[in-house]
Amino acid sequence: SYTIDNQATVTPLLSQMQASNIGQTIVDLSAFVNRYYTTSGGVSGSNWIKNKWTDLAAGRSNVTVEQFTHAAFPQKSVILTIQGTDNASEVVVLGGHQDSINTAGTTETTKAPGADDDASGIASLTEAIRVMLASNYQPRRTIKFIAYAAEEVGLKGSAEIAKKYKTDGVKVVGVMQLDMTNYKGSAKDIYLYTDYTNAAQNTFVANLISTYQPTLTVGNDSCGYGCSDHASWHAQGYPTSMPFETTMSESNPKIHGTGDTYANMGSQANHALKFGRLAASFAVELGSDGP
Ligand SMILES: N[C@H](Cc1ccc(I)cc1)C(=O)NO
Ligand SMILES: [Zn+2]
Ligand SMILES: [Zn+2]
């Protein structure tokens, strides 16, 4: 039962979140020549996220940041864990992918800034992490933020992690995927994708938006294939949601090339802020539930 009853905690967090911080993270991540899963840029991008999230976690005894080593490629996923208190065995997952790609072929020197796809998602999550940790928020459930490696080449990072969690019997109660959050290409603000996701959780996400961001408009659409890392978790039977920046037909035409830049999104992160706020409300409302 998806109750929304943590307004006293969530509302102040959302007001502390700033588009400028999200924009800076997009700029920093898209400064790597690329973040491809097999290049030095991909390895460096992973280390950048690890260091950034470690800085945010400083001084918090119940917060850890680790890199997940993948068997088949060098780029590591990054996992920040906020350990729960009295319901810690139940886990809430929020993710985005850190890798970028240039469909012309991505070598050591090929430009693939990946500002929207998916530095924007990582940046939205990072701002949610910042305010949650700065406010010393203590969840009852365990909350995990994950920057997946190797999404562009077949959801490889998330597939390995989701399979491991299933094998280990981890009770993941909900997953949110943020992949592309800053290109405002459609009429409505947030589109909840209906395939490879969970309908009941999607209704909860829509209710989070109407409760905490009532001026925003919500639509639905579908990808028709496993279009991001939520599909890896869905395959393992976990409930997922993917709030997306546009309809499928109006998606960002610049992705997977040299033009996916912060400048080409107007050098502002106002759209991504909506998704960061949605991520924070999802994390706190689900994270605050007891056993
Ligand atoms: N396939 C996805 C991009 C993508 C995802 C959803 C929609 I709608 C349009 C485009 C991808 O490249 N993820 O990194
Ligand atoms: Zn992509
Ligand atoms: Zn993507």
**pLDDT tens-place string over residues 107-166:** 999 999 999 999 999 999 999 999 999 999 999 999 999 999 999 999 999 999 999 999
Query: Is 70 part of the annotated catalytic residue set?
Result: no
Confidence of residue 1 (pLDDT cuts 50, 70, 90): confident
Binned at pLDDT 50, 70 and 90, residue 2 comes out as very high
* Cβ of 227 less than 6 Å from ligand 1: yes
**Pairing of β 171-177 and β 90-97:** parallel
Q: How confident is the model at residue 286 (pLDDT cuts 50, 70, 90)?
A: very high
Q: Note the pLDDT tens digit of each residue in 239-253.
A: 999 999 999 999 999
Residue 275: is its pLDDT beyond 80? yes
Catalytic residue among 229, 256, 271, 289: 256
- Asked whether residue 190 carries a pLDDT value surpassing 90, the answer given is yes
* d(C-alpha 150, C-alpha 101), whole Å: 9
pLDDT at 148: 99
Cα 28 from chain centroid (whole Å): 17
pLDDT (tens digit per residue) in 165-180: 999 999 999 999 999 9
Burial class (CB in 10 A: 0-12, 13-18, 19+), 169: exposed
Helix ranges restricted to H, 30-170: 40-57, 121-134, 156-167
d(CA 281, CA 255) in angstroms, rounded, equals 28
pLDDT at 57: 98
What separation in angstroms does the CA of 225 have from each of 120, 210, 231, 240? 22, 28, 9, 15
> Which residue's C-alpha comes closest to atom 14 of ligand 1?
152
- Three-state secondary structure call for residue 167: helix
Instruction: Give yes or no for residue 219 having a pLDDT over 90.
Output: yes
Nearest ligand atom owner, CA of 155? 1
Task: Specify the pLDDT at position 215.
Answer: 98
Catalytic option among 90, 99, 118, 152: 152
Please compute the mean of the pLDDT values over residues 90-107 and round it to a whole number.
99
ipTM surpassing 0.85, yes or no? yes
For residue 199, report the phi and psi dihedrals to the nearest 5 degrees. Answer: -60, -45
> For ligand 1, what atom is nearest to the CA of residue 225?
1
Distance CA 268, CA 134 (A): 24
User: CA 179 to CA 174: how far, in whole Å?
Assistant: 17
Average pLDDT over residues 203-225: 98
Has residue 58 got a pLDDT over 80? Answer: yes
> pLDDT-derived band of residue 226, with 50, 70 and 90 as boundaries?
very high
| pLDDT, the chain, mean | 98
